Structures are given as C-alpha cells and as structure tokens.
Amino acid sequence: MTIEDQIVGLDRSVEAFARCVTSLDEQRFLQKLNGWTPRDIVAHLVGWNRYVVEGGRQILRGELPFYDIDPGDNYSKVNAVLVREHSSSSREELLTDLRRSARELKEFLRSVDLSDWNRDHGVRHGSSTITIKNTMDELIADYDHHRKQIERCV
C-alpha cells in the first residue's frame, strides 16, 4: 500500500464516519453508547489525527511516539485527555475540526519521504514495531470501528 492509497483510505473512512454522525439527531449525538457519546468519539478522532502527525514525526526520528509511553488500558489515559481537550458539544464544530485535522494528517503523510514510508523497520515497542504505515492502518480501522458502533446503536 502506498502513501496515496492510505490517504484515499483515510478520506473514505473520515467521510463515511462524518456522514454517520451527521445523520444523528442532536439528542443521539450526545447520548452514551457503550460508555462514550458520538460527540466523545468525534473528539477522540480529532485528537488522534493530530497525535498521529506528532507521533509520526517521532517515529521518523527513531523515537517512541509519546502516546505509547503510558497510554493506559486500551489507551484510556490518552483518550480521556482528547475527549477533554476537544470539549465542544457542537456537532458542526467538531466535524469541521475532524476534517481540518484529517487534512493536516494528509499533508504530513505527503511530506514523508517514500524511503521512510517503505522501510520495513520502525520503532520497537515490546514485541511490536511501530511504523507510520501501521499506525495509519490502525487509525483508519478505528474510524470504521466507531462508525459501525454508532450505526449499530442507532
């Protein structure tokens, strides 16, 4: 998979997720589903778009991304910070932030040298190797997971 393939995948996932959230009425947008509201999920994804940019720069320097140092169980500590930082309850404002942060992420991805993108090594963390590519795979999967989660509860 190339950088452009992942950018296309990110675009598809962001827009499918945004359409799903847009289809919710205001009450559903603020109603808890499995512990989080759709509002919380949007805030989480806005933050992760930006975290992947910063973490990607750290990976390129051979450093462990900051969010992997003490993430909590299933990234609970990291995600709690994101939900607090992106505190708006306005769906339109959060979706604007989501799309803006996705554009920032795409700009970062396009700035990555192809030799860095294609290298098979990244940063070792426990038994895993963290790369920009597999980080993006996980982020795209997270968008799709959360969209399906919301769709099941509506």
Cα dihedral sign for 37, 31, 85, 87?
positive
- In the Cβ-directed half-sphere of 89, how many Cα atoms lie within 13 Å? 8
Q: Which residues pair with 128 in a beta bridge?
A: 125
Q: Token pair for residue 97?
A: 């932030």
pLDDT at 119: 61
| pLDDT digits (tens), the chain, 154 positions | 788 999 999 999 999 999 999 999 999 999 998 889 999 999 999 999 999 999 999 999 999 998 888 777 878 888 888 888 999 999 999 999 999 999 999 999 999 987 777 565 678 777 888 889 999 999 999 999 999 999 998 7
pTM, 2 dp: 0.92
- Domains along the sequence of the chain with CATH: 3-153 (1.20.120.450)
Listed in sequence order, the DSSP H helices in the chain are 3-22, 26-29, 38-60, 76-85, 91-111, 114-118, 132-153
